Protein backbone atom coordinates (compact mmCIF):
# COMPACT_ATOMS: atom_id res chain seq x y z
CA UNK A 1 0.00 0.00 0.00
CA UNK A 2 2.83 2.35 0.87
CA UNK A 3 4.57 1.95 -2.47
CA UNK A 4 1.23 2.30 -4.25
CA UNK A 5 0.56 5.69 -2.67
CA UNK A 6 4.06 6.86 -3.57
CA UNK A 7 3.40 5.79 -7.13
CA UNK A 8 0.13 7.76 -7.17
CA UNK A 9 1.92 10.84 -5.82
CA UNK A 10 4.50 10.48 -8.59
CA UNK A 11 1.74 10.44 -11.18
CA UNK A 12 0.21 13.59 -9.67
CA UNK A 13 3.56 15.39 -9.89
CA UNK A 14 4.01 14.29 -13.49
CA UNK A 15 0.48 15.48 -14.34
CA UNK A 16 1.12 18.92 -12.80
CA UNK A 17 4.38 19.33 -14.70
CA UNK A 18 2.60 18.38 -17.92
CA UNK A 19 -0.07 21.04 -17.41
CA UNK A 20 2.56 23.72 -16.82
CA UNK A 21 4.63 22.63 -19.84
CA UNK A 22 1.61 22.82 -22.15
CA UNK A 23 0.33 26.18 -20.93
CA UNK A 24 0.16 28.60 -23.81
CA UNK A 25 0.05 26.00 -26.57
CA UNK A 26 -3.11 24.16 -25.59
CA UNK A 27 -5.98 25.36 -27.75
CA UNK A 28 -8.69 27.12 -25.79
CA UNK A 29 -11.75 29.32 -26.03
CA UNK A 30 -11.44 32.75 -24.41
CA UNK A 31 -13.91 35.53 -23.79
CA UNK A 32 -14.04 37.89 -26.74
CA UNK A 33 -12.22 41.18 -26.17
CA UNK A 34 -14.12 44.28 -27.28
CA UNK A 35 -11.39 45.66 -29.56
CA UNK A 36 -10.79 42.84 -32.05
CA UNK A 37 -12.13 44.77 -35.06
CA UNK A 38 -14.69 43.85 -37.68
CA UNK A 39 -15.21 40.58 -39.51
CA UNK A 40 -13.16 39.75 -42.61
CA UNK A 41 -14.91 38.99 -45.91
CA UNK A 42 -12.27 36.33 -46.69
CA UNK A 43 -12.25 33.73 -43.89
CA UNK A 44 -9.35 31.75 -45.35
CA UNK A 45 -6.11 30.81 -43.60
CA UNK A 46 -3.15 29.31 -45.42
CA UNK A 47 -1.15 26.51 -43.79
CA UNK A 48 2.49 26.76 -44.89
CA UNK A 49 5.94 25.74 -43.54
CA UNK A 50 5.67 26.69 -40.69
CA UNK A 51 3.04 29.32 -40.12
CA UNK A 52 -0.62 30.13 -40.47
CA UNK A 53 -1.42 33.10 -42.67
CA UNK A 54 -2.91 35.19 -41.37
CA UNK A 55 -2.36 33.87 -37.86
CA UNK A 56 -5.28 35.92 -36.53
CA UNK A 57 -8.65 36.61 -38.14
CA UNK A 58 -12.00 38.09 -37.15
CA UNK A 59 -15.21 36.48 -38.42
CA UNK A 60 -18.93 36.84 -37.77
CA UNK A 61 -20.67 34.08 -35.79
CA UNK A 62 -21.91 31.34 -38.12
CA UNK A 63 -19.03 31.79 -40.57
CA UNK A 64 -17.11 28.85 -42.00
CA UNK A 65 -13.32 29.22 -41.92
CA UNK A 66 -11.28 27.36 -44.55
CA UNK A 67 -7.65 26.40 -43.98
CA UNK A 68 -5.71 25.76 -47.21
CA UNK A 69 -2.50 23.71 -47.11
CA UNK A 70 0.30 25.21 -49.21
CA UNK A 71 3.54 23.90 -47.69
CA UNK A 72 5.62 20.78 -48.21
CA UNK A 73 5.48 19.39 -44.67
CA UNK A 74 2.58 17.79 -42.85
CA UNK A 75 0.59 20.06 -40.56
CA UNK A 76 -2.72 19.96 -38.73
CA UNK A 77 -5.15 22.42 -37.19
CA UNK A 78 -6.16 21.60 -33.62
CA UNK A 79 -8.54 23.80 -31.68
CA UNK A 80 -10.84 23.34 -28.70
CA UNK A 81 -13.51 21.08 -30.20
CA UNK A 82 -12.12 20.70 -33.71
CA UNK A 83 -9.18 18.93 -35.31
CA UNK A 84 -8.07 18.48 -38.91
CA UNK A 85 -6.17 15.47 -40.21
CA UNK A 86 -2.37 15.70 -40.22
CA UNK A 87 -1.81 16.33 -43.92
CA UNK A 88 0.51 18.03 -46.45
CA UNK A 89 -2.19 19.21 -48.87
CA UNK A 90 -5.91 19.80 -49.03
CA UNK A 91 -8.28 21.92 -46.99
CA UNK A 92 -10.15 21.84 -43.68
CA UNK A 93 -13.25 23.78 -42.71
CA UNK A 94 -14.80 24.65 -39.37
CA UNK A 95 -17.90 26.74 -38.70
CA UNK A 96 -17.88 28.89 -35.57
CA UNK A 97 -21.38 29.43 -34.18
CA UNK A 98 -20.54 30.96 -30.80
CA UNK A 99 -18.79 34.24 -30.18
CA UNK A 100 -15.41 34.09 -28.49
CA UNK A 101 -11.71 33.88 -29.19
CA UNK A 102 -10.55 30.45 -30.33
CA UNK A 103 -6.87 29.60 -30.37
CA UNK A 104 -5.55 26.78 -32.52
CA UNK A 105 -2.19 25.10 -32.97
CA UNK A 106 -0.37 22.74 -35.32
CA UNK A 107 0.36 19.74 -33.10
CA UNK A 108 3.77 18.80 -34.60
CA UNK A 109 4.92 22.44 -34.44
CA UNK A 110 4.04 23.94 -31.07
CA UNK A 111 5.06 27.46 -32.08
CA UNK A 112 2.73 27.36 -35.09
CA UNK A 113 -0.37 28.94 -33.61
CA UNK A 114 -3.33 31.04 -34.68
CA UNK A 115 -6.45 32.75 -33.39
CA UNK A 116 -10.01 33.10 -34.65
CA UNK A 117 -12.06 35.89 -33.10
CA UNK A 118 -15.81 35.28 -33.55
CA UNK A 119 -17.85 38.47 -33.24
CA UNK A 120 -21.67 38.78 -33.11
Question: Which residues lie near Cu ion (CB under 5 A)?
Answer: 75, 106, 109, 112
- Closer of 106 and 118 to Cu ion (Cβ): 106
Bridging pattern class, strands 78-79 and 56-60: unpaired
Three-state SS at 99: coil
Provide the minimum distance between the beta carbon of 112 and Cu ion in the complex, in angstroms, as a whole number: 4
What is d(CA 9, CA 53) in angstroms, rounded to the nearest whole number? 43
Q: Which helix (H) or strand (E) holds 2?
A: helix 2-22
- Closer of 112 and 118 to Cu ion (Cβ): 112
- Closer of 57 and 106 to Cu ion (Cβ): 106
Provide the minimum distance between the beta carbon of 105 and Cu ion in the complex, in angstroms, as a whole number: 9
Amino acid sequence: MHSNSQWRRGLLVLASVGVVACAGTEPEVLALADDVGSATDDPTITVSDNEFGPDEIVIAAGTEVTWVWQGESEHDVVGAGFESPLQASGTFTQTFEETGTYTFVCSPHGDMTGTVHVVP
